[in-house]
Amino acid sequence: MKRNLVFVLLLTLFGTGASAQLKVGKLLKAGGNLISAVTLTDADIAEMSKSAVEKMDQENQVDTSDYHRRLQRLTENISVDGLKLNFKVYLTKDVNAFACGDGSVRVYSALMDTMSDSELMAIIGHEIGHVARTDTKDALKNAYLRSAAQNAAGSVSGSVAARLSESQLAELANSLAQAQYSQKQEYDADEYGFEFCLKNNVDPYAMYHALDKLADMSKTNRNNASAIVKAFATHPDSYKRAQRMKEKADALQH
C-alpha cells in the first residue's frame, strides 16, 4: 500500500510517460527514503525541522544584543499549546520570519526594523499559524519527498534526520525560510495571527497594519524581495487580506 502511494506521488512529480514511469520504477527500487517520506510522523517533522534550523543557525549571524533583547521582551510570556517555542534573530537585510514544527521561530532583523512591536507580534503569530495549521509540516514533507526522489537515497536505517545529506539538509532549510503557501493557507494564518494578538493583549489592528506594510513593500520591491514580501507580490489580493483584518478589529469596537 505504501509503495503504491509512493508510486502515485512520484508520477505526479515526474509525469506519466513511459520514460517517466521507468525513472520512477528505478527510484522506488533505490529509495527507501521515498516510502518514509510518505509516512513521516509529527516527531519526524520536528526532528527534521530541528536539524534544518540548526544548520541555518550555523550559517546566519545570530544576534545576541539589541534585536535579541527586544524579541525576548516581546515573546517571554507567550505560549502555544503543543509547542515549546524558542526564538532567535538573524542579522540580515532580508525581510522575513518563519516558524518550524519543533517550535523554533526565527525573525530577521530587517523585519524588526520595519515593524512596530505590535506588528512584529502579529507576524510572529501568523508564522506560528502556519505551523499550527500543518502548512509548514506539509511544505517540509513535500520538500523531503522531492529531495529523496532526486537523490534516490537507499538507506532506511537510523532516524529520518540522520539520513539527510548536507545538500538535502540545505534544501530543507531553504524550504523553511522560503516557503510559499497557497492563498487559503495565508488567509487562515492571518486569522490565527489575529487571534494570537488578542490572546496576548496585542493591538487588534496590528495584523492589519503589518499586512498593509508588507503589501506596500511588495509593490515597490518586487524584483529583489524577501520570501515574506514575495508571498504578497504573488497574491493579487494582498490588500484585501489587510482589509479583512481591519474589519475584524473594527467589529471588536462595537
Instruction: Tell me the per-residue pLDDT of 30-60, one tens digit each, with 9 for 90 and over.
Output: 444 544 555 667 788 778 888 889 999 999 9
Name 89's bridge partners: 107
Q: Which long-range contacts (CB under 8 A, 24 or more apart) does 77-83 make?
A: 77/200, 78/200, 80/128, 80/132, 83/128, 83/131, 83/132
pLDDT computed for residue 24 by the predictor: 44
Mean per-residue pLDDT, 108-126: 96
Confidence tier at 178 by pLDDT (50, 70, 90): confident
Share of the chain above pLDDT 70, in %: 71
Contact 198, 204 (CB under 8 A): yes
Tell me which of 170 and 60 has the higher pLDDT. 60
pTM: 0.79
Domain segments of the chain: what residues? 1-30, 45-134+179-252
Q: Which of 143-157, 193-207, 218-232 has the highest mean pLDDT?
A: 193-207
Mean per-residue pLDDT, 16-37: 47
Contact 107, 89 (CB under 8 A): yes
Q: Which residues are catalytic?
A: 127
Task: Record the cell numbers describing residue 109, joined without a space.
Answer: 532583523
Mean per-residue pLDDT, 112-138: 93
Instruction: Tell me the per-residue pLDDT of 76-95, one tens digit each, with 9 for 90 and over.
Output: 999 888 788 999 999 999 88
| 61-65, 195-199, 224-228: the lowest-pLDDT one | 224-228
Calpha distance 194→93 (Å, rounded): 26
